[in-house]
Chains A and B, each alone.
Chain A
Amino acid sequence: MRVVHYLNQFFGGVGGEERAGMRLEEREGAAGPGRLLEQLLGGNAKIVKTLVCGDNYAVEHQDEVIASVLKKVQEAKAELFIAGPCFEAGRYGMISGALCSAVQSELAIPVVTAMAGENPGADLYREALYIIDSGPSSAKMRDVLVKMAELAKKLVAREEIGLPGEEGYLRRGLIRDEFVEQTAAKRLVDMIMAKVTGGPFESEMVPTSFEPIPMPPAVKDLSKARVMLITDGGLVPKGNPDRIEGSAATRWGAYSIEGLDDLKGDDYEISHGGYDPRFVQEDPDRLVPLDAMREMEREGKIGKLHNEFLSTSGLANPLSNTRRIGREMAEKVKKEGIDAVILTST
């Protein structure tokens, strides 16, 4: 098995922080921790090349270093690429993650790295890669190398990779389905018995937390404000011209309400599978309250109702879509000089 190993200036034996500016160099064979790693990989594994680069240089010239490493890994006909272990070193973690990620996607060979959970490289790359949790201390070098070697061997052999706790990698935040021995009912009752008797239990899922959103200041004078209506209830013009998907929507639309005092069911349809659409189809104002807003506009309670409403479907929509849709809508809101938004959600 041909392996290429990436190290920073320190683990490559060149020097400390004062050599962090060194350019990428190539060594024949294993170096530094690579020697033990090669042994642990066992069999016919050979680190054919060790690539060493200064942490500062790597971070400041990331694209160049990545391109260079890709070329060298390819030339070496490597079947496995390993970077680190990086422990707490942040720049080292970032470049190791970036290199592994690039080798994985461009060259489609197995990659392994290791760093502490708090390493900024971990945050950025844990989802894309298997990153062994090395903890902060390089005193654990041997243990970490053992885990890296075990995981690497499995990846090369295309074996099934177990859970983070079993294999020692940082939780990637991904989900996959597996058939297990015990029914959900059995697991449920096991879990409650452990919890109620004070025994240890491991929840099969740990809740997500969302970052708090800073509260925008209140609108000072609504009577002068430009207000826009937005909905995630999937209300679209008949024919769904922008083909907004009813579920996991990737698109949103802006639809004119110029000169309209209320929305007529005949002109619209609903692209959203998560609620009974009859009532809104009958009278779309029940979702996008145009009629009431026009009254507010006429009475001078708001300055002006913007001449479009924005719409998409919120059903079963992953954050990867909705974060982007939200940003794009926010840009439109800013572009149109809107002061306030009313979002109606099903």
Chain B
Amino acid sequence: MVQITSALPIAKMVGSNRVVLGHGIVHVAGDASLSFQEEKELRRNLVRDALKALQSAEKE
């Protein structure tokens, strides 16, 4: 499992092993201030990071 969240201290504290930084509490995988295309790109990159983390043996 990989967790995407902005509340990194909480994730660290409860012991979540693979954590990817989310993009804000209110839109963890998006950004309302970006254009539609930019937002999609941001989300794609976030998901790619998450998939990379799943394949990594390192604690993130």
User: Do chains A and B make direct contact within the complex (CB under 8 angstroms)?
Assistant: yes
Residues in chain B near residue A344, CB distance under 8 A: 3-5, 22, 28-29
Q: A336 to nearest B CB, angstroms? A: 14
Pairwise interchain contact A289-B29, C-beta atoms closer than 8 A: yes
Number of chain A residues whose Cβ lies closer than 8 Å to a Cβ of chain B? 40
Q: Are A279 and B57 in contact (CB under 8 A)?
A: no
- A286 neighbours in B (Cβ, 8 Å): 27-32, 39, 43
Taking CB atoms, residues of chain A closer than 8 Å to B39 are 286
B51 pairs with A222, CB closer than 8 A: yes
Nearest CB of A to B40, in Å:
7
- The digit string for A298-317, where 1 denotes a CB below 8 A from any CB of B, is 00011000000000000000
Among B6, B18, B43, point to the contact of A292 (Cβ < 8 A).
B43
Contact A279 B47 (CB under 8 A): no
Q: For A289, what are the chain B residues with a Cβ–Cβ distance below 8 Å?
A: 29, 43, 46-47
By beta carbon, the residue of chain A nearest B14 is A210
Assess A213 versus B16: contact at CB under 8 Å? Given A301-B51, A345-B22. yes
Q: Which of B16-50 contact A (CB under 8 A)?
A: 16-18, 22, 25-32, 39-40, 43-44, 46-48, 50
The reply to whether B26 and A291 form a contact with Cβ atoms under 8 Å apart is: no
Contacts of B54 in A (CB 8 A): 218-219, 222, 225, 340, 342
| Number of A-B pairs, beta carbon distance below 8 Å | 115
Docked CA distance A293–B11 (Å): 23
Residues of A within 8 A of B30 (CB): 279-280, 283, 285-287
A270 to B28, CA, bound (A): 14
Interface contact B4-A343, CB-CB below 8 Å: yes
Nearest CB of chain B from residue A340's CB, rounded to whole Å: 5
Q: Do the beta carbons of B26 and A279 come within 8 Å of each other?
A: yes
| Residues of A with C-beta under 8 A to B4 | 342-345
- Could you tell me if A287 and B17 are in contact, using CB atoms closer than 8 angstroms? no
**Does B15 belong to the interface (CB within 8 Å)?**
yes
Partner of A210, one of B13, B40, B46: B13
How many angstroms between the C-alpha atoms of A293 and B29 in the bound complex? 12
In the complex, the answer to whether B47 meets A296 with C-beta atoms within 8 Å is yes
Q: For residue A337, give the distance in angstroms from its CB to the closest CB of chain B.
A: 15
Contact A346–B26 (Cβ < 8 Å): yes
A158 to B29, CA, bound (A): 54
CA distance A291 to B37 in the complex (A): 12
Nearest chain A CB to B15's CB is how many angstroms away? Answer: 4
- A-side contacts of B57, CB under 8 Å: 215, 217-218
**Counting CB contacts under 8 A, is A341 at the interface?**
yes
Within 8 A of B (CB), among A211-228: 211-213, 215-220, 222, 225
Asked if B28 and A346 sit within 8 Å, CB to CB, the answer is yes
CB-contact partner of A282 in B7, B13, B18, B32, under 8 A: B32
A85, chain B: closest CB distance, angstroms: 36
* A277, closest chain B residue (CB): B26
Rounded to whole angstroms, the CA-CA distance of A225 and B57 in the bound complex is 16
Cβ contacts under 8 Å, A302 to chain B: 51
Known: A302-B51, A342-B47. A215 touches B28 (CB 8 A): no
Q: A210-B15, A276-B26, A344-B28 are in contact. List 17 more A-B contacts (CB 8 A).
A: A210-B14, A215-B17, A215-B57, A215-B59, A233-B28, A275-B25, A278-B32, A280-B27, A286-B31, A289-B47, A292-B29, A301-B48, A302-B51, A342-B1, A344-B22, A345-B4, A346-B25
Q: 5 A-B residue contacts at CB 8 Å?
A: A278-B32, A279-B32, A340-B1, A342-B1, A344-B4
